[in-house]
Amino acid sequence: MIDQYAVFGNPISHSKSPTIHRLFAEQLQQRLEYSAHLSDVDRFEQDIQHFFAQGGKGTNVTLPFKEMAWKMAERLSEAAQLAGAANTLWMQDNLLHADNTDGVGLVNDLLNNCGATLKGRHLVVLGAGGAVRGVIKPLLDSGCASIVIANRTFAKAKQLADIFSELAQPGVSVDACEFAALSPSPRVDIVINGTSASIQGDVPPVPEGVVSAHTLCYDMMYSNTQTAFCRWARSQGAERVFDGLGMLVEQAAESFSIWRGVKPDTAPVIELLRQSLSHQ
């Protein structure tokens, strides 16, 4: 019997995950099937339980079920604990295990595909929701000098900053501010958009001057054309601008590695997906 994997979400028809994992499996000559499943809040737990009861080996979880998956899990990785959400599930020793691979996916994309240097750099992360909470610790682990979490409401950004300040290395600052309080001083090396504004074609209200030619700008969202944030970053003079397609593939590679014990080469998969998006 071929090992079964799946992604659960709502909506789910747009998901690239089946294609990504098929390409990983072909590359590494792994025999598996990976399918996409539409669920809803009322039956998500039942759907997950049924999948594993039928012999399923592992699942990815996307919006809006990451927090529910986190609550279901009997064993949480450190990344999942800190994120308060899980995107990767598997059974081990008859216990449901959970991880969150979003943060390491982001860092791997920045380092390996975007040519970024994180060590010693000053970062601004826009947003303070679940997507941002899942990436702060891996960014801190990369050796950055500081992170400013900027959000529409200060209290939510401050809450995250307080949590992650305790996990930062000595001398590394994690601060919070409202969008309007962002300043180009000290120098901003990298700006990461973790808000959902790009979905609506909007951009967080970042003041003029925060982004300049040397600033690397990264949108955790992706689309078949430039996201609104990427267009805005270009208009501000940023020369290095990236969307989140690479992060999507990199986080999937981490899930694949957890399940199968082997790590795929992500570069050719990112290139194939990029070509496919350009023709849509």
Domain boundaries, the chain: 3-100, 103-245
Instruction: Determine the 3-state secondary structure of 192 from DSSP.
Output: strand
Residue 84, Ramachandran bin (φ over 0: left; ψ between -120 and 50: alpha; else beta): left
Whole-number pLDDT of residue 196:
86
Give the chain's count of helices (H) and strands (E): 11, 12
Distance (Å) of CA 186 to CA 143, 178, 211: 17, 16, 12
Q: Is 276 annotated as a binding residue?
A: no
Q: Is 155 annotated as a binding residue?
A: yes
Both tokens of 123, joined, read 């970062």
The whole-angstrom separation of Cα 123 and Cα 140 is 10
Whole-number pLDDT of residue 230:
96
Whole-number pLDDT of residue 184:
83
The whole-angstrom separation of Cα 32 and Cα 6 is 10
pLDDT tens-place values along the chain, 280 residues long = 899 999 999 999 999 999 999 999 999 999 999 999 999 999 999 999 999 999 999 999 998 999 999 999 999 999 999 999 999 999 999 999 999 999 999 999 999 999 999 999 999 999 999 899 999 999 999 999 999 999 999 999 999 999 999 999 999 999 999 999 998 877 899 999 999 887 788 999 999 999 999 999 999 999 888 999 999 999 999 999 999 999 999 999 999 999 999 999 999 999 999 999 887 6
- What residue ranges in the chain does DSSP mark as E strands? 3-9, 32-38, 58-61, 75-76, 88-92, 95-99, 122-126, 146-151, 173-178, 190-193, 216-219, 240-242
Catalytic, 66? Answer: yes
The whole-angstrom separation of Cα 136 and Cα 232 is 23
Q: Is 30 annotated as a binding residue?
A: no
Distance (Å) of CA 64 to CA 37, 69, 131, 220, 245: 13, 10, 12, 17, 19
Domain 3-100: CATH class, spelled out: alpha beta
Q: How many CB atoms lie within 10 A of CB 243?
A: 24
Q: Is 244 annotated as a binding residue?
A: yes
Whole-number pLDDT of residue 175:
97
Domains 3-100 and 103-245 share a fold: yes
Contact partners, residue 137, CB within 8 Å, separation at least 6:
78, 79, 82, 103, 164, 167
CATH code for 103-245? 3.40.50.720
Instruction: Determine the 3-state secondary structure of 19 from DSSP.
Output: helix
Beta pairing, strands 58-61 & 88-92: antiparallel
Q: Is 154 annotated as a binding residue?
A: yes
Catalytic residue among 57, 66, 71, 119: 66
Q: Is 102 annotated as a binding residue?
A: yes
